[in-house]
Structure 1
Amino acid sequence: MTTLGWILLDHGVALLSVAAWFAAGVAAALRQARLACIALVVAIVLIPLRIFTVAMLAGAGWWYVQEKVLLSLPILAASGLAAVVVAGRPLVTARRDPSTVVPAGGVVTLLTAAYAALAGLATTLLVGYPLTWGSAMISIALVCLAAVLTARVVTRSGHPSSDGDRPAVGGAEVSRRSVLRIAGGVVAGGLGGAGTAVSLRPDVGHTGHSPSTLSVADLRGARAPGPGGTTVRRVLTAQSATVRLSSGQAVDAWTYNGQAPGPAIVATQGDLIEVTLRNKDIEDGVTLHWHGYDVACGEDGVPGLTQPVVTPGEEFRYRFRADQLGTYWYHTHQASHIGVRKGLYGTLVVHPRVRQERQLDLTLPLHTFGDTLVVADQDGHTDHTAEAGTPVRLRLINTDPDPHRLTLSGTPFRVTAVDGRDLNHPGEISEVGLRLPAGGRYDVEFTMPHSPVVLVADDVVLRIAPDRAAARPEAAPDTAGWPELDLLHYGEPAPAAFDARKADRHFTLVLDRGVAVVDGRPAYAHTVNGRAHPSIPDQLVAEGDLVTFTVVNRSLDTHPWHLHGHPVLVLSRDGVPAAGSPLWVDTFDVRPGQVWTVAFRATNPGIWMNHCHNLPHAHEGMMLRLAYTGVTTPYGDAHAGHG
């Protein structure tokens, strides 16, 4: 079973445990001894089953079980044992003799076990990893408070105490005021501890300058093309517009230059790319982020961190040299969870100086408007022609927050590049599916055969045929059962650029859901190590450091992880080393229950966003900053870079 399977099973067992303990307690209170006995037996059986699921999860990593081992199982085992000792014999007696009433102590201990089971499940779902002293104290205090209040209710409802003549459990009347005072103090102490933990954020990337610091405002791109290059100038105007899709459907969009996708930027290696961004009427403001392109930090397009936001009537100019070949894209990084979805995106392709003269080269960004998937600018069936024997390259770009599944039928093909970086000796493959993560890019190449080739992206079909007459077969092939290509085992190995075992810095990012403060307000957030932006500590590196980081996904959502300014080399997934071509990516899908380890060399000084590229997840807290020592920003504060 996969780690995700064990996570789901553990959640299910925990939920059943809560239900069983509550059923036992409520049935005992209602004097339904037979039902209470059955529920108690089920609850007892579920305890070792829960221990088993936790033990299996522990094999995947401590991150998955910390709060279960340190809190959930101990308080459940202790309260469950107390319930069996106090309520077990009276329940058996009451089952045999219906006139016998289960004493208040038995009812209270059964319900206390239910509260403990519920507290453990709530801690997993609302707190997650890591468990802090504050959250543990709050959970225990709430269980104790619920138990004492339950005791008061039960004894006043007519249930006898264990010795039959005293109304209070344990032989002493408990003052409601004293109970609330004690529990309130424990909860306040827990909240104080949790608040202290959140406030301990390093002061990195602060505003201001000193002789030993460098501002991102000074980290700008080249001002001239390389030898033999030219200057590629573009003006992009952000504006609202009605975009009409190929099917005739009208979409109210935010656009660059009134179109979606925005104008394609195409350059040749060594060219200087100069783009002037103007904002006509986008009230939320805009920027340009060059996704996957390792520009200087001052060109990265993160508002409040690398530049001011471009508001209506303002402009900002970006310059960088086209030194990286490959397929990339650009998008706004201001309120990007809204702006990208509404159409503020476009493509960037850098060609080598020497190109094949006879080639069909298609750049195909995938984007969803509402429920409609658009490939390039087409939302339906698309036809292209290419003579047999023609080299064909398809540049596939996922601009959506979720992955897309693509299949190519009719010819063997190669995935020659991922995220703009060439793979080493990729072999020919066929009848496999390609999972393209959010923000990711695949370059697919093949030689055109004498029969049609069909690309299927979800339910959108693109056909390439040697002539128009062959372009429209009756139906697209059924590719639903094709296996998924595993890029970690595709292509041939090659010597690594560094020895990751000698890393100077290592970070662990545990992705989860939980209650956290997001931009000053409490929310059920997407968290990193139990916190949400902007309370997540910066990752501190020095120029030249070899850095590794492990990304663990405890949640039930897929998180496409994206580091700005640096490609990362995939080292392993779920502890299994990558065995194919060296895989350099800027976005990688961390599915539920997965653990990825990647590495990079810190050679691009700045303060960089490191976040989930499901942009609504980033907006809900799942982003942090990787900061080089000595680099500051004059543009904002801890809230900088909100995507």
Structure 2
Amino acid sequence: MKGKLKLFLAVGAISVIVAGCANANSQNGMKGTDQPKMNMGDSQQNTSQNKEQSGDMKLTQATPVADGKEFTITAQASNLKVSDDVTLPVWTFNNSVPGPQIRVKVGDTVKVKLKNELEEPVSIHWHGYPVPNNMDGIPGVTQDAVAAGKEFTYEFKATVPGTYWYHSHQDSVNQLDKGLYGTLIVEDPSESYDRDYTIVLDEWMSSGEMDMSNNEDMEGMDHSQMDMGDTSNNEDMQGMDHSQMDMGNTSNNEDMEGMDHSQMDMGDTSNMTEMAGHDMSMYDVYTMNGKTGDAIDKLTVKKGDKVRIRLVNAGYITHTIHLHGHEFKVIASDGQPVNSPAVITDQGIAIAPGERYDLEFTANNPGSWLLEEHGKEDRVKNMRAVIEYEGVPDRPDASNANEELPTFDLTKYGQQARTNFSLDQKFDQDVKLDLNTEMKAGEMVYTINGKLFPDTDPIKVDKGDKVKVTFVNNSKTDDHPMHLHGHFFQVLSKNGKPLEGTPVIKDTLNVKPGEEYVVAFEADNPGDWMFHCHDLHHASAGMVTDVMYNGYNSNYTPDPTVGNKPE
């Protein structure tokens, strides 16, 4: 089953994460807790109820905020109540979707024990966080996936504050889709907010005929043993996973995108325009923290509050979010602070897969307002949270999701400052990554410099190297949100023009069709690191390379019996 085919998933669930807003007498001096915290410790789970059969599964609980230094995260099957009348089978961390928010402080040594009560192996990747290489959670690269009934402890030092997240990287195109993700917040001791909310964005498919619990044999498959017959006119087929598939005559497949037809024989499919495989319009239910529309929990504020909203995109579609009724600042991107952020209003914040944006505003306009996605499609209307002032009747302002708004441009925002890199300096490595969508051996794939992972050319570096990377997106219609593990990079130019505003430091950068970006990073974290598109359909279809440190010796040897699937 293809990762984004969240079959039977109608509406997402689980409470808005009230992220670490401790009360007035808490250690960090923050106030405004709207949800009880819990230290996950080493709590026991009732494994007898964690069956994949929907009748035996638990019902997911509200997403907890887990603070401290040591945590237990249990991967388990469950039921997700996505609305009053729909309950769906999912995979969870600690019986919630999203999984528990892990909230720590700069300087903490973080220990997270992953226990696997699923029947499939899993892992945890700390998206955006510069953990040691052996803690990166990449099956077959840095560790074996954690098999059913087994456990693994991740340990790293919290050195960089900001908004991050975690997810399974075992067969991630599928497991992330099933609900195996959560957020990681590293608190900066110099910051304090009255309200601090985290909102995880995702999208689901509300219809389908396949129960994902019975599709283990169709997940994470490669593109081998596939016969697609005549594919003479497949230029626009995108991101498809057609393992062991005989499609006969597919001479007119312009509109087939990203379909997963493992082991299918489709015979004569000379006109495939009616089949919308990777047509992302099929994902018709948009969620905030797993809930949709009126089911989304309100964001409660009171007049005078200083409010932070952390937006995390755990899906595969870019979502453009608008805050109604208030001026606000964009204070961070991918956890990294923006220099001298300006006050803005009525701009849409486009958040690509894997990206994070943090907003800050003062609650100075009592009423009931919306934080919502903007767009003209019906599905965007469900991605909206009410910002409700205490003591004010619940009558939110009308949605204006269809209104044309300027899109926020981080490359022209804030003020310039001294940086580690510039376009005119000398680099130790100068790499070009041509990102493209191609037909190879009768299937649609996503390539880097014309090659597919694992045959892409790794970026080989020495520790201390300063590396310049040029992204060029030659795909006709696909965005490619490129994510580098273990490092931050600085964006130097866009389409040949140097950035005008704040230094932009990121770990995930969305490169749209026809765009060119130049970025730079320092090779300061030895290991073997993945560098890939975070539309995981694209990664699983080839758009992956590695940053490999010369002389790095890992003591890890993959176990061939585990079934490691790094993408």
Question: TM-score w.r.t. structure 2 length?
Answer: 0.69
Residues 89-104 of structure 1 aligned to structure 2 (within 5 Å): none
Instruction: Please tell me the residue identity of whatever aligns with 2:113.
Output: T
- Choose 1 or 2 for highest CA Rg: 1
Q: Which one of the candidate residues 610, 622, 627 is aligned to 2:543?
A: 622
Deviates more, 1:453-462 or 1:268-277: 453-462
Name 2:464's counterpart in structure 1.
Answer: 544
Name 1:321's counterpart in structure 2.
Answer: 157
Name 2:196's counterpart in structure 1.
Answer: 361
Name 2:273's counterpart in structure 1.
Answer: none
Please give the alpha-carbon distance, in whole angstroms, between the structure 1 residues aligned to 2:492 and 2:361: 28
Please give the alpha-carbon distance, in whole angstroms, between the structure 1 residues aligned to 2:84 and 2:200: 17
**Does 1:534 pair with 2:454?**
yes
Q: Which one of the candidate residues 101, 104, 113 is aligned to 1:264?
A: 101
Name 1:455's counterpart in structure 2.
Answer: 371
Instruction: Please tell me the residue identity of whatever aligns with 1:608.
Output: W
8 Å Cα contact 1:516-1:532 kept in structure 2: no
8 Å Cα contact 2:446-2:543 kept in structure 1: yes
Please give the alpha-carbon distance, in whole angstroms, between the structure 2 residues aligned to 1:479 and 1:246: 25
Please give the alpha-carbon distance, in whole angstroms, between the structure 2 residues aligned to 1:497 and 1:622: 28
Q: Decide whether aligned partners of structure 1 residues 246 and 422 sit closer, same or farther in structure 2, where only a CA change above 3 A counts.
A: farther
Please give the alpha-carbon distance, in whole angstroms, between the structure 2 residues aligned to 1:626 and 1:572: 21
Residues 183-194 of structure 1 aligned to structure 2 (within 5 Å): none
Name 2:172's counterpart in structure 1.
Answer: 336
Instruction: Please tell me the residue identity of whatever aligns with 2:400.
Output: P
**Does 1:561 pair with 2:482?**
yes
Q: Decide whether aligned partners of structure 1 residues 479 and 523 sit closer, same or farther in structure 2, where only a CA change above 3 A counts.
A: closer
Please give the alpha-carbon distance, in whole angstroms, between the structure 2 residues aligned to 1:599 and 1:607: 18
Please give the alpha-carbon distance, in whole angstroms, between the structure 2 residues aligned to 1:324 and 1:291: 13
**Does 1:409 pair with 2:324?**
yes
Please give the alpha-carbon distance, in whole angstroms, between the structure 1 residues aligned to 2:363 and 2:85: 31
CA displacement at 1:640 relative to structure 2 = 7.6
Name 1:146's counterpart in structure 2.
Answer: none
Deviates more, 1:390-399 or 1:369-378: 369-378
Residues 142-291 of structure 1 aligned to structure 2 (within 5 Å): 232-283=69-120, 285-291=121-127
Name 2:437's counterpart in structure 1.
Answer: 513
8 Å Cα contact 2:430-2:467 kept in structure 1: yes
Question: TM-score w.r.t. structure 1 length?
Answer: 0.61
| SS of residue in 1 equivalent to 2:298 | strand
| SS of residue in 2 equivalent to 1:526 | strand
Please give the alpha-carbon distance, in whole angstroms, between the structure 1 residues aligned to 2:119 and 2:495: 43
Name 1:606's counterpart in structure 2.
Answer: 527
8 Å Cα contact 2:386-2:396 kept in structure 1: no
8 Å Cα contact 1:289-1:301 kept in structure 2: yes
Instruction: Please tell me the residue identity of whatever aligns with 2:482.
Output: W
8 Å Cα contact 1:251-1:369 kept in structure 2: no
Instruction: Please tell me the residue identity of whatever aligns with 2:557.
Output: Y
Instruction: Please tell me the residue identity of whatever aligns with 1:581.
Output: T
Name 2:508's counterpart in structure 1.
Answer: 587
8 Å Cα contact 1:590-1:596 kept in structure 2: yes
Name 1:389's counterpart in structure 2.
Answer: 304
CA displacement at 1:231 relative to structure 2 = 5.7
Q: Decide whether aligned partners of structure 1 residues 604 and 615 sit closer, same or farther in structure 2, where only a CA change above 3 A counts.
A: same
Please give the alpha-carbon distance, in whole angstroms, between the structure 2 residues aligned to 1:599 and 1:479: 37
Please give the alpha-carbon distance, in whole angstroms, between the structure 2 residues aligned to 1:239 and 1:597: 41
| Residue deviations 1:434-473 (CA, integer Å, cap 9, x gap) | 1001000000000002333321033222121323534323
| Residue deviations 1:192-223 (CA, integer Å, cap 9, x gap) | xxxxxxxxxxxxxxxxxxxxxxxxxxxxxxxx
8 Å Cα contact 1:413-1:444 kept in structure 2: yes
8 Å Cα contact 1:553-1:591 kept in structure 2: yes
Please give the alpha-carbon distance, in whole angstroms, between the structure 2 residues aligned to 1:474 and 1:594: 37
Please give the alpha-carbon distance, in whole angstroms, between the structure 2 residues aligned to 1:550 and 1:237: 39
Deviates more, 1:245-254 or 1:335-344: 245-254
Q: Decide whether aligned partners of structure 1 residues 637 and 554 sit closer, same or farther in structure 2, where only a CA change above 3 A counts.
A: farther
| Residue deviations 1:580-630 (CA, integer Å, cap 9, x gap) | 100001111111111111001110000000000001110011101110001
**Does 1:577 pair with 2:498?**
yes
Please give the alpha-carbon distance, in whole angstroms, between the structure 2 residues aligned to 1:513 and 1:539: 21
Please give the alpha-carbon distance, in whole angstroms, between the structure 1 residues aligned to 2:468 and 2:158: 27
8 Å Cα contact 1:286-1:310 kept in structure 2: yes
8 Å Cα contact 2:421-2:520 kept in structure 1: no
**Does 1:524 pair with 2:444?**
yes
8 Å Cα contact 1:305-1:641 kept in structure 2: no
Q: Which one of the candidate residues 283, 291, 296 is aligned to 1:378?
A: 291
Q: Which one of the candidate residues 470, 473, 476 is aligned to 2:396?
A: 473
Instruction: Please tell me the residue identity of whatever aligns with 1:257.
Output: N
Instruction: Please tell me the residue identity of whatever aligns with 2:81.
Output: R
Name 1:123's counterpart in structure 2.
Answer: none
8 Å Cα contact 1:570-1:598 kept in structure 2: yes
Between Structure 1 and Structure 2, which shows a larger proportion of strand residues?
A: 2
Please give the alpha-carbon distance, in whole angstroms, between the structure 1 residues aligned to 2:391 and 2:177: 34
Please give the alpha-carbon distance, in whole angstroms, between the structure 1 residues aligned to 2:317 and 2:299: 27
Name 1:98's counterpart in structure 2.
Answer: none
CA displacement at 1:635 relative to structure 2 = 3.2
Please give the alpha-carbon distance, in whole angstroms, between the structure 2 residues aligned to 1:641 and 1:594: 31
| Residue deviations 1:50-104 (CA, integer Å, cap 9, x gap) | xxxxxxxxxxxxxxxxxxxxxxxxxxxxxxxxxxxxxxxxxxxxxxxxxxxxxxx
Q: Which one of the candidate residues 306, 331, 334 is aligned to 1:419?
A: 334
8 Å Cα contact 1:411-1:430 kept in structure 2: yes
Instruction: Please tell me the residue identity of whatever aligns with 1:481.
Output: E
| SS of residue in 1 equivalent to 2:392 | helix
Instruction: Please tell me the residue identity of whatever aligns with 2:99.
Output: G
Number of residue pairs matched? 408
Name 1:204's counterpart in structure 2.
Answer: none
- The percent identity for this pair of structures is 38
CA displacement at 1:251 relative to structure 2 = 2.2
Please give the alpha-carbon distance, in whole angstroms, between the structure 1 residues aligned to 2:148 and 2:403: 46
Please give the alpha-carbon distance, in whole angstroms, between the structure 1 residues aligned to 2:71 and 2:306: 30
Deviates more, 1:337-346 or 1:498-507: 498-507
Please give the alpha-carbon distance, in whole angstroms, between the structure 1 residues aligned to 2:126 and 2:199: 17
8 Å Cα contact 2:203-2:317 kept in structure 1: no
Name 1:490's counterpart in structure 2.
Answer: 413
Please give the alpha-carbon distance, in whole angstroms, between the structure 2 residues aligned to 1:234 and 1:636: 26
Please give the alpha-carbon distance, in whole angstroms, between the structure 2 residues aligned to 1:513 and 1:354: 45
CA displacement at 1:632 relative to structure 2 = 4.0
| SS of residue in 2 equivalent to 1:245 | strand
Please give the alpha-carbon distance, in whole angstroms, between the structure 2 residues aligned to 1:328 and 1:536: 28
8 Å Cα contact 1:364-1:396 kept in structure 2: yes
CA displacement at 1:368 relative to structure 2 = 1.9
CA displacement at 1:496 relative to structure 2 = 1.4
8 Å Cα contact 1:607-1:628 kept in structure 2: yes
8 Å Cα contact 2:370-2:396 kept in structure 1: no
**Does 1:642 pair with 2:555?**
no
CA displacement at 1:248 relative to structure 2 = 4.3
Please give the alpha-carbon distance, in whole angstroms, between the structure 1 residues aligned to 2:308 and 2:463: 37
Between Structure 1 and Structure 2, which shows a larger proportion of helix residues?
A: 1
